[in-house]
Amino acid sequence: MEKRKPENVGVSNPYALAEVMLKRRIEWSRVGDPRKLLEETLGMSYEKLFDPINDSPLYAGLKYQPKTKSLERIEIPPTAVGAHRALIEVRATTVWVDPGDFFEEGAELTDPIQGGVANCYLIAALASVAWARTYRIAQRTRATDASGGFVDMIDFHKVGKWEKVEVTELLPMNSPSNTFIYARSSDPGEIWPAIYEKAYAKWITNHPGDKPDITRTAFGDPVGAAARLTGLTPYYYLTSAHSSNSIWHIVRSNCISRKTFNPMVAWTYSSGEDSPDKVKYSDANLVANHAYSILGWQYANNQKYIVLRNPWGWKEATLNVALGCWVAWDAPYYGGPGFWRVITMATHDGIFALRVDTFKKYFARFGLVKE
């Protein structure tokens, strides 16, 4: 087990960022050529978008340092153009509205979708918790006046204690179309992932009001975020320190019937240049410096796989992936009634099963939280 914590894991969701720039919601599943639309909107070839070594707009606020092979935080200059400019200008047109209900049904692993800010570490952790420890995601509400005002209370764990944060359900939207800028749910009309993100922004910035700067949640520690959401103990692992088989068995030891019962996350190298294999992320349809949820494991055609989810709810890996369906027993981690959940890998929902030796090449580290 490795103790050093990451600090700058993060990349913006290009699909959400394109919507910010175009000021409208896009049904990506209905777009004939999503790659072309991204290229035209973000001003860079698709192959170069997913590695900060190319100065991609998805990594606004980070600068790759070739000598140290690390990512350094930088200020986005006021003279920035393109996607960088859109992230600055959207603050001036933001309107705060209540766009839906906290829950439509309940917390599901596919609900959290990352927005235009580079906080994949948080959204991946949120999905992992919703998957493995569902009851940690809850709505707790109190009235604030006699006319029907109310707030939700979200708590986060830090230094051995829970700290409580109250927020209303007003969320920042892109005017004039009132489309989401930041986190949203895959279920129309549901807003719990956005409420958690807003509360997290208020908590980490000590904002006294109800309209925190959500861009301040950019870049962080995926395992640390899971620990703050659950109060469980964090554990970190370097992929380079383990064989492919060892990695697979670590994942399996935190699963029941192929599904994680301890929330797990993984993240890629800061650049393909940092990988011992000098990988090119576009070859695998993966993303550098990006956090993913680990959902469980798969064994198919005599091959070992790790099942992951991209918090964008889109863009699954294409290199050495399992096809068909993944079946896992979906039940509370402590036991009790459950059901066999069948996930079709061909569906565009961000979920894919990656062969474990390929996982080792492209992912720098992974981790989990548990008692």
Enclosing domain of residue 253: 223-370
Identify the CATH number of the domain in which residue 229 sits: 3.90.70.10
Are 334 and 133 a contacting pair, CB within 8 Å? no
Residue 306 maps to a domain: yes
Residue 350 maps to a domain: yes
Does residue 79 carry a pLDDT above 80?
no
Q: What is the mean pLDDT of residues 311-336?
A: 94
Distance CA 137, CA 118 (A): 22
Residue 322 maps to a domain: yes
Q: Into how many domains does the chain fold?
A: 1
Distance CA 17, CA 21 (A): 6
Mean pLDDT of the chain: 94
E strand or H helix at 23: none
Residue 55 maps to a domain: no
Residue 147 maps to a domain: no
| Band (3; pLDDT cuts 50, 70, 90) | low
Residue 236 maps to a domain: yes
| Band (192; pLDDT cuts 50, 70, 90) | very high
Distances (CA, A) of 106 to 123, 137, 191, 192, 348: 17, 9, 11, 9, 21
Does residue 352 carry a pLDDT above 90?
yes
Distance CA 193, CA 191 (A): 6
Are 90 and 181 a contacting pair, CB within 8 Å? yes
Task: State residue 1's pLDDT score.
Answer: 67
Task: State residue 69's pLDDT score.
Answer: 83
> For 116-153, how does the pLDDT look when each residue is reduced to its tens digit (9 = 90+)?
999 999 999 999 999 999 999 999 999 999 998 999 99
Residue 31 maps to a domain: no
Residue 333 maps to a domain: yes
